[in-house]
Chains A and B, each alone.
Chain A
Amino acid sequence: MTIGRNMTRRDFIRISSIFLAGAAAMPAIPAGILSGMGSRPAGLADEKIVYSFCEHCFWRCGIAVHVSDGKVTKITGSEHHPLSNGRLCPRGAGGTGLLYDPDRLAYPLVRETRGGKQQYRKATWDEAVTIVAEKLYRIHEQYGPGAIAMLHHGYGVSFFKKMFSEIGVNKIAKPSYDLCCGPARQASVLTYGYPSDTPEGFDIMNSRYMMFFGTHFGENMHNTAVQEISEAIRRGAKIVVFDPRYSTLAGKAEHWLPIKPATDIAMMQALMHVLISENIYDKPFVEQHTVGFGELWDSVREMTPEKASEITDIPAEAIRTVAREYAFHAPAAFVHSGRRTNWYGDALQRIRAIHILNALAGNFKMPGGVVAFQKFPLPQPPAAHEHPAYEKEAYSKYPFFPQDEPSNTIASHEIIQQAIAGDIRALFIYGVNLPETMTLGRQAALDALQKVDFSVAVDVLPAEVTGYVDVVLPECTYLERYDDLDNGRAFRTPFVALRQPAVKPMFDSKPGSEIARMITDKWGLHGVFAPTVEAGLDKKLKLAGSSLEEIKKKGVLVMPATDLYRKSGEPLNLKTPSGKVELASAQLKAGGFDAVPRYTPHPEAPEGYYRMLTGRKPMLTFGRTANNRFLGDLATAKENEVWVNTGVAFSHSLSDGEYVKLKNQAGVVSEFPVKVKVTERIRRDAVYMVHGFGHNSKQLTWAYKKGASHNQLISRTDIDQAMGAVGFQNNFVTFVKEA
């Protein structure tokens, strides 16, 4: 038997409960936090507030952590942090549920075979780190740095990036590019010459007219965006939502247009058609600041509202109305580019179409339109080691994959494929629950995990991924550690934010900064990191004229608001090849792709099947909160439901509240049943379910078996050949009644 070639070599290990926090240290959990009793005022006397930022999603709002008697009692919005403005989304408020989760990983674990049975053994940090350092070193020696890859999501990863850059490992992927905002980023690069960011560059607060395709703010609870939208509503802004489902945002819209899924590009083309044919676009802007108008018009000339109406199932008159209203309110109007933009593998073109609609409105750098927020200029200290030979190497095979992001050099599905092919031999996984996140399907993720010679997961919870790796390293939560400074967010008032521990790490968990240091030390690379994480942060801040001590007080350094709007006659100086907004992209054309967005039809559901759409619940973020019993306490947070149109439910004899299993077009049946929600709020050709449920790791005692996994039902993926994103909405399901 050749090690590493046997697909079933790595049995899934159920982490024994003695390795989890609950059995070991439940008494450490302050009474009254998860099952809170009594009234609050008693605990207030010695309360101290620690300012930090949230890790329950990738927005990174500032939080005020209230600590009393060494326990975190509540988390509120930091009044100093521009992204939270003193307020939080529900998940941000629910951090205690993660911190005091009795299922947390408590000790390092090492896979071993005893009596023919694989199991985890509790290890000391030194043992575990020695194994990790040695294995990675050996694979690096034998196969080169290209045989090691890291998958990551979460802000603590910077230390591991630095650790790997020391040995030239450069295959680093964040699934959130492939599966999430990659297309929006690259569409912005190709159209405007700069990547779109977080928060997305829209002047929501001052807008008069906002169009959303799918983006479901209000369920997608990006705090700042939701705050600005509500402010805009108060100021009288109108909202238009194209969504096959009546989302919460649709509930606030002037027009809800239940578009047939997968036909958005046709709709956008029709909107362009009306803007141009009725001559209501911003002609001076287009003439001065854009290229490719002729080619654009040629491509939308045929897409009349009537034609689009047939494709999208939206009346032609409604299309005209929306286009006219949009033009009327321009430039204080925009079309939002969305967040999880990868739907059907053609998202790059779809988001390009959105950017073009914005350009036609002439809203660039106009109040209420598209704006470019600024980042806090934080000087970076020079790197301690250089590996020029490795760092220049680009790994992704997709021509429009970003070239400028050391944290994302390759698509995560490429890593999965290379691991299955045997080219990647070690996987280092930081904060990614691979079997439930990677959407080349669950099976591909498991195959990759089986195939590699060595794998490590750094996680806080016994998520599914931790059952398949060789070493599990328990990181402490974001409330118990320092991370790198956050100056990655561009906003109205540029800022840099601090993550600092509110309480000491519980159990035998450690911060990423320490884990990475221990590994590099084992490699004999001393001095890669500053002597302490505090010293490193202080040094960086001193370069910016501040200090750790100063930033600790408010958790953030904030610059005055920048000027977001252009003056008339001001040149745009865009970094596109033409220096202008590229309505038609010569780059794409040169790469063999459409220069302007074009609608192409997508597969339709087989008879009796429905397109499976997905989205978010406001109080949860998939793996990050699935086991959070504080957040999970509400009736609406306990499970996901499959939304079924009333008529469809009738034809399948489904009743509201009934549990069914779902079966996809490839015959995969959901492991767990899911509750049917019979509703008028969705079209007849689609069903909808929130991602992040149906966990099959029994060690997630709260999340186990609640609802059904969206990820499990993905058998078909559509990869965007230009920029490597993965669309997964060409999957269809039907209902299997429980016997």
Chain B
Amino acid sequence: MTESAHEIISTKINPGVVPHLHIWEWHIPLYLFLGGIAGGLLLITSAMIVMKRHFGFGPKDQGDGCPCLAVRIGSVLSPALLGIGMLFLFLDLAHKLYVWAFYTTIQPTSPMSAGSWILIAFFPLAVLQAMVVNRKYIEKFDIALVNKLIVWADDHLVKVALLNAHIGVGLGIYTGILLSFFSARPLWSSSILGMLFLMSGISSAAALLLLLAPKDERHLYSRIDANAIWVELVIVGLFVLGGITGPANSHGAMMHLIAGDHLMAGMPYMYWFWGVFVFAGLIVPLLVEVLENAGVHLHLPPVAPVLVLAGGLVLRFLIVFAGQTWHTFM
């Protein structure tokens, strides 16, 4: 009503909370995190396959066309992690028995509807790719039909991987777009969010591969990771700037995130954002990896990838929570 309004009493929620509405809890950030990694893994592993198969670059080949061990693991992890993520998504549904309703309709305007179909599309190709790169294990089972499929897919693996790379990017972006379409929530309502989540997904995936890869493969993933972090830092900068310089709604929401004293697990958003996400989750690992790549061996346990992963996780929680604890579009 008036700009100077200073006292609002609502029967709905208590005045200290008005008009904050906490909708999603831990399930959705975890799902977005796992979805992001799954997308990142798919992109990286597909890219590696294409590089190897088409251009011949990459780590040593074990002769079966799979570039390296990390790719083997990553290809399997990608659909597995997404599956776990979707389980969380399912757990979040308040009306679980009606989950079928997603798949009896296509709602072109609903990102969630699009998403639920994308997720369905993701699995067959991602699983197929995982089977191909791991064919030596699967063929042991000697299932005729499966073997046939693998053989066929192996012949077209570059094309499958190219397609998968795109799906991976799509999935990564989707985890951000899902939120950014909600124009009612000013923090989310930023077109950069898709890119941010994509890059964070890639850097997290690289970090995960870095953790899992045998020693001789690490160098490569460390470079991928360092580059992804670098790009991600730039995007974070754009995201923050875009918010601060935006209209009152976005400005307020961004300040709530980067300077807010609202608590998450007992610590204000501000510390989580700058301290945990930006500093510990991006800058420190970037420095470590740049140094490692430059040949300065710190002989540290794999802190950098762990920090990146933690940072990625915190980012999802922060964005999801801060987006909800700031009021809807005013």
Query: Which chain A residues have a beta carbon within 8 Å of chain B's beta carbons?
Result: 634-637, 657, 679-681
Contacts and interface: CB of A to CB of B under 8 A. Distances in A.
B11 A680 contact: no
A635 B13 CA distance: 6
B12 A635 contact: yes
B16 A636 contact: no
A680 B7 contact: yes
B7 A679 contact: yes
A681 B10 contact: no
A529 B191 CA distance: 80
A681 B7 contact: yes
16 contacts: A634-B11, A635-B10, A635-B11, A635-B12, A635-B13, A635-B14, A635-B15, A636-B9, A636-B10, A636-B11, A637-B11, A657-B16, A679-B7, A680-B6, A680-B7, A681-B7
A4 B35 CA distance: 78
B119 to A, nearest CB: 32
A306 to B, nearest CB: 32
Nearest to A90: B11
A681 B13 CA distance: 21
Most chain B beta carbons < 10 A, residue from A635, A657, A681:
A635
A636 B11 CA distance: 5
A637 B10 CA distance: 11
Contacts of B13: 635
Contacts of B16: 657
Contacts, number: 16
Interface residues of B, number: 10
Contacts of B10: 635-636
Contacts of A679: 7
Contacts of B15: 635
Given A635-B12, A636-B9, 9 more contacts: A634-B11, A635-B10, A635-B11, A635-B13, A635-B15, A637-B11, A657-B16, A679-B7, A680-B6
Interface in B1-41: 6-7, 9-16
A657 B14 CA distance: 10
Contacts of B12: 635
Most chain A beta carbons < 10 A, residue from B6, B10, B11:
B11
A657 B13 CA distance: 14
A422 to B, nearest CB: 49
Nearest to A619: B11
A636 B7 CA distance: 14
A657 B12 CA distance: 17
User: A-B pairs with the 9 shortest C-beta distances?
Assistant: A634-B11, A635-B14, A636-B11, A635-B11, A657-B16, A635-B13, A679-B7, A636-B9, A635-B12
Nearest to B11: A634
Interface in B162-178: none
A634 B10 CA distance: 9
Contacts of A681: 7
A281 B9 CA distance: 42
A657 B15 CA distance: 9
Contacts of A657: 16
B249 to A, nearest CB: 25
Nearest to A634: B11
A657 B16 CA distance: 8
A186 to B, nearest CB: 37
B62 to A, nearest CB: 61
A681 B12 CA distance: 21
B190 to A, nearest CB: 32
A680 B11 CA distance: 20
A635 B11 CA distance: 5
A91 to B, nearest CB: 14
Nearest to B13: A635
Nearest to B6: A680
Nearest to A681: B7
A679 B15 CA distance: 13
A637 B12 CA distance: 11
A635 B8 CA distance: 13
B19 to A, nearest CB: 12
Contacts of B9: 636
Contacts of A637: 11
A497 to B, nearest CB: 31
Nearest to B16: A657
B94 to A, nearest CB: 14
Nearest to A657: B16
A9 B297 CA distance: 86
A679 B6 CA distance: 9
A635 B18 CA distance: 11
A634 B13 CA distance: 8
Nearest to A678: B7
A6 B185 CA distance: 68
Contacts of A680: 6-7
Contacts of B6: 680
Nearest to B7: A679
A680 B4 CA distance: 12
A94 to B, nearest CB: 13
Contacts of A634: 11
A637 B9 CA distance: 11
A679 B5 CA distance: 12
A61 B319 CA distance: 52
Nearest to A646: B6
A655 to B, nearest CB: 11
Interface string B295-306: 000000000000
B43 to A, nearest CB: 47
